[in-house]
Amino acid sequence: MTDMTTLPGQERYVAPLDETPLQDVDKVDENAPASSMWADAWRTLRRNPMFIISGLLIVFIVIVALFPALFTKQNPNYCTLENSLAPASAGHPMGFDFQGCDVYTRVVYGTRTSLSVGLCATILVVLLGTIIGAIAGFFGGWIDSVLSRLTDIFLALPILLGAIVVLQMFKTNSSIWKIVLVMALFGWTSTARIARGAVMEAKNLEFNTASTALGSSPMRNLFRHILPNSLAPIIVIGTTSLATYIVLEATLSFLGVGLPSTTVSWGGDISQAQTSLMTNPMVLFYPSAALAITVLSFIMMGDAVKDALDPKSRTL
């Protein structure tokens, strides 16, 4: 039809509504289930081969750590010099180390130690860093200044060097929890900085303003609304950091300042295998391979989670 109110030569044609298919294209399905960031992330992860492969490896590693008796019936601390550096045989597929211990059994039981240290350290680091970073980013002012300077001080200390110094100061009665606490003491800074930035971004969004207008207290806003909407980058850094703490535990044990020699761990076995590196390098290879596969699995998982929760970080 022609709009008769326009001047001659300026007529415009408007098609009837029933002749325009755009309404079907742009129409929103009101019956479709509501989507969220977590649902979209899970949908992306399920189609990511890296997530599937790393997930299967991690599940297998967790089963080995929880139920080592399913994979070996031998005692990892049973060693006899008669079997020193003996080759692989029936029931001993990886041979024996210099002390005559079964390498396969120690690799299996070492999984529990490395994984438990990495998981516990990651949980403590994420909790401590998230609380400090969230408080600094939410309240700002002098609180932010003090906590930020404290974060900078700890960030300037290398985590490995700091852990060596503290563990040397308290060398007696070494245990898994002491290693975990030392890792948490020096490892929370990166998580705190990520949490601070995420909270500062989330607190300026509309839902926080609306919640405050409805009478919600600042602490309720922080823990009920802002933190749940800031978890994506925190989960990403937590997932990728887990591999770091597994390697750190192995490094401390390798240097002789970590877990005691009576505790079965990959780092301790790698350290003891140095003496037989030239004559029997496979003694060093097996625990190193187990450590590498575990770390690679968590790194792959972290990369997959990062791509799912932070699509902007993907390389084109």
Q: What is the set of domains in the chain, with CATH numbers?
A: 41-71+93-311 (1.10.3720.10)
Which of 121 and 263 is assigned the larger pLDDT? Answer: 121
Q: What percent of the chain has pLDDT over 70?
A: 85
pLDDT in tens, 165-195: 888 887 766 678 888 999 999 999 999 999 9
Q: Distances in Å between the alpha carbon of 54 and those of 46, 67, 74, 85?
A: 12, 20, 29, 33
Confidence bin at 313 (pLDDT 50/70/90):
low
* Residue 316 pLDDT grade (very low, low, confident, very high; cuts 50, 70, 90): very low
Which helix (H) or strand (E) segment holds residue 270: the answer is helix 266-272
Let me know: does 253 contact 134? Beta carbons within 8 Å: no
* pLDDT over threshold 50, residue 164: yes
Residue 25 has pLDDT above 60, yes or no: no
Task: Name the average pLDDT for the chain.
Answer: 83
Handedness of CA 68, 180, 226, 306 (dihedral sign): negative
- Count of CB atoms within 10 A of residue 57's CB? 17
Q: Quote the CA–CA distance of 160 and 304 in Å, as a whole number.
A: 27
CA torsion through residues 59, 61, 63, 65, sign = negative
Torsion angles phi and psi, residue 103, rounded to 5: -65, -45
Answer whether 100's CB lies under 8 Å from 81's CB: yes
User: Is 108 within 8 Å of 71 (Cβ atoms)?
Assistant: yes
Return the higher-pLDDT residue of 206 and 315. Answer: 206
Residue 286 has pLDDT above 60, yes or no: yes
Q: Which of 314, 301, 159 is nearest to 236 (CA)?
A: 301
Name the token pair of 26: 């742009």
Top mean pLDDT of 11-15, 203-207, 303-307 is at 303-307
Q: Look at residue 315 and tell me whether its pLDDT is greater than 60.
A: no
Range among 84-88, 143-147, 302-306 with highest mean pLDDT value: 143-147
Strand partners for 148: none
User: Full-prediction pTM beyond 0.85?
Assistant: no
Structure tokens at 30: 């009101």
Q: Name the packing angle between helices 231-255 and 159-169 (round to 10°).
A: 50
Bridge partners of 96, per DSSP, are 102
Q: Which residues pair with 15 in a beta bridge?
A: none
What single DSSP character describes residue 101?
Answer: B
CA atoms within 13 A on the CB side of 280: 20
Q: What is the DSSP letter of 50?
A: H
Q: How many helices (H) and strands (E) does the chain have?
A: 13, 0
